[in-house]
Structure 1
Amino acid sequence: MVEMVDGMDVPKHCRTTFSTYQDEQLRTQGNKDYFITSGDKIRFFFEKGVFDDKGEFIVPKNRSVNKVGHALHAYEPLYEKVTHSPRVQGIAKRLGLVNPVILQSMYIFKQPGIGGEVTAHQDATFLYTEPLGRVMGLWFALEDATVNNGCLWFIPGSHKSGISRRMVRTPPGTFPLTDFTGREQDYDDEKFVSAPVKKGGVVLIHGEVVHRSAQNTSENSRHVYTFHIMESQDTRWSPDNWLQPTEELPFPPLYTQ
């Protein structure tokens, strides 16, 4: 990833800030073709405040990136190998998944001092299936994830209550390119439980569990590799989702490489 960031060449008009705040998604991610067409590509998304008003970096490039996504699993051999590894396949098989496919992959930096907050959300808001309960995230800690540097927090049992909000594509030719239906619930801070994990550990994330992570105000980064899989057997992938398979990259089966 160090080599990829060193060699990245992102046009100034595509230097997109990544945020999970709803209003900023509509203003930045969802409004930009750079984001909505990234499902079959490798693209770079940045933290707030890392560019001047001309789009030039004001911090070192390696400290500017929020995440890289969303097709590392398809185009970078190391990430492809990890994603399809026998141990990952073994997890899916033990969970009874018959024909899981890979939806997207990301490398998340959680930069020291500025790593942005990820607000409370459910992955099924963005990766919707019918029926629900067919999507799972695998979240690999490449460094220790602690309460101080922005580990995950979950509301236990929240995966049993469905979802109240969806991010959807708007009709072709309209603006913005995505919108939200429904609204995010208000969550009780006291219900969240931290999930620190040591380097090398993996967290399995149910598609409907409510989770978040705080801004990283520490001096230590919190790098992770994460990807989402879907049980495709007897499952309908919503055509309204921002992420869609393409002719260049259909969702690849997890059990083959």
Structure 2
Amino acid sequence: MDVLSPDARERYHRDGFLVLEGFVDPARCDALRAHADRLVAAFDPDAHRSVFTTNEQTRHSDDHFLDSAGEIRFFFEEDAFDETGALRQPKERSINKIGHALHDLDPEIDAFSRDPKIETLVAELGLAAPLLMQSMYIFKQPFIGGEVRCHQDSTFLHTEPEAMLGLWFALEDAHRGNGCLWAIPGGHRAGLKSRFVREGRSTRFEVYDETPWDESRLVPLEVEKGAVIVLDGLVPHMSHANRSPASRHAYTLHVVSGESAYPSTNWLQRPTPARGF
């Protein structure tokens, strides 16, 4: 049975993104959130202090980040620690995200990621021989949830030719107050502006177009729990910091075409081959 109408497919190719409300049952969203809570409860915050931020990506490309392609690892919010290095709030209110192989290593998240409905959605969007490359559970914590600057996902997960999409599942309502996604309609047609290139244990940005994003064109993608937002790898998108008392949990899955080459200069290099659905 089809997931998408012809109009929805047309809108995706026109805008570079697509919002589908009610894609995931709310009870399943709640179950995934409860599972993430259990993962955090079992995590020792003294094991490492790796911070995730998009403001200084190269500075924060530490070993913990670079070796996370085949692991389940935890990353803190930029404002999680005080000047002494102590957590400002409990660990469950300090984690920015968990990544990047949840879809392969965690049975519950694997089952969510490889749901036949998701497989059908990806097929109907025209991605050939899909491979599940990366997954992240994102918390967007109350009061300290960090900004994610305007970017293209293909900057970080590049294929030749470009053939990648992101699936962003709202596990809670996402609105302007708690840091919903924003995207530039049609921005994917401008091409790739930069690449995040890995060379051994170091990373750098390779810039192709220094023209800044026209952020006046960004539109908010406010959605209810259970929605999925599909993002073309080239569409520019971002989210503001969350300074509200409400969290904004989401699960993201990045899928590439197995018919495209996946360069060794991508930061994410899996220890085992990526699998499909």
RMSD after superposition: 1.5
Give the deviation of 1:11 after TM superposition.
4.5
What one-letter code is carried by the residue in structure 1 that aligns with 2:220? Answer: S
Where structure 2 has 5 or more consecutive residues not aligned to the other structure, the ranges are: 1-35
Match for residue 179 of structure 1 among 204, 208, 212? 204
Q: Secondary structure at the match of 1:200?
A: coil
Alignment of 1:99-178 (within 5 A): 99-132=129-162, 134-170=163-199, 172=200, 177-178=202-203
Alignment of 1:11-160 (within 5 A): 11=46, 14-21=48-55, 24-28=56-60, 30=61, 32-53=62-83, 55-132=85-162, 134-160=163-189
The CA distance in 2 between the partners of 1:111 and 1:245, in whole Å, is 28
The CA distance in 2 between the partners of 1:185 and 1:104, in whole Å, is 28
1:228 corresponds to 2:247: no
Give the deviation of 1:53 after TM superposition.
4.9
The CA distance in 2 between the partners of 1:217 and 1:46, in whole Å, is 16
TM-score, length basis structure 1: 0.90
Once the two structures are superposed, residues 81-109 of structure 1 have per-residue CA deviations (whole angstroms, 9 ceiling, x without a partner) of 01100110110121233310001000000
Q: 1:227 to 1:212 in 2, by over 3 A?
A: same
**Alpha carbons 1:97, 1:231 under 8 Å: kept:** yes
1:5 corresponds to 2:40: yes
The CA distance in 2 between the partners of 1:184 and 1:225, in whole Å, is 31
The CA distance in 2 between the partners of 1:47 and 1:126, in whole Å, is 20
Once the two structures are superposed, residues 41-93 of structure 1 have per-residue CA deviations (whole angstroms, 9 ceiling, x without a partner) of 00000112322455432310100000000011011111100110011011012
What one-letter code is carried by the residue in structure 1 that aligns with 2:219? Answer: V
Once the two structures are superposed, residues 202-249 of structure 1 have per-residue CA deviations (whole angstroms, 9 ceiling, x without a partner) of 00010000000000111110000011001112x111110000121xx3
2:276 is matched with 253
**Alpha carbons 1:128, 1:238 under 8 Å: kept:** yes
Q: Secondary structure at the match of 1:8?
A: coil
Q: 1:184 to 1:229 in 2, by over 3 A?
A: farther
**Alpha carbons 1:108, 1:223 under 8 Å: kept:** yes
1:206 is matched with 232
**Which one is further off, 36-45 or 237-246?**
237-246
**Alpha carbons 1:113, 1:218 under 8 Å: kept:** yes
**Alpha carbons 1:15, 1:55 under 8 Å: kept:** no
The CA distance in 2 between the partners of 1:121 and 1:114, in whole Å, is 21
Once the two structures are superposed, residues 136-187 of structure 1 have per-residue CA deviations (whole angstroms, 9 ceiling, x without a partner) of 00000000000111111011111011112111112x3x6xx11111165412
**Alpha carbons 2:132, 2:276 under 8 Å: kept:** yes
What one-letter code is carried by the residue in structure 1 that aligns with 2:244? Answer: S
What one-letter code is carried by the residue in structure 2 that aligns with 1:251? Answer: A
Give the deviation of 1:10 after TM superposition.
4.6
Match for residue 243 of structure 1 among 242, 262, 268? 268
Q: 1:122 to 1:129 in 2, by over 3 A?
A: same
**Which one is further off, 192-201 or 55-64?**
55-64
Identity of aligned residues (%): 45
Give the deviation of 1:27 after TM superposition.
1.5
Where structure 1 has 5 or more consecutive residues not aligned to the other structure, the ranges are: none
1:218 is matched with 244
- The alignment of Structure 1 onto Structure 2 pairs a total of residues equal to 241
Give the deviation of 1:135 after TM superposition.
0.5
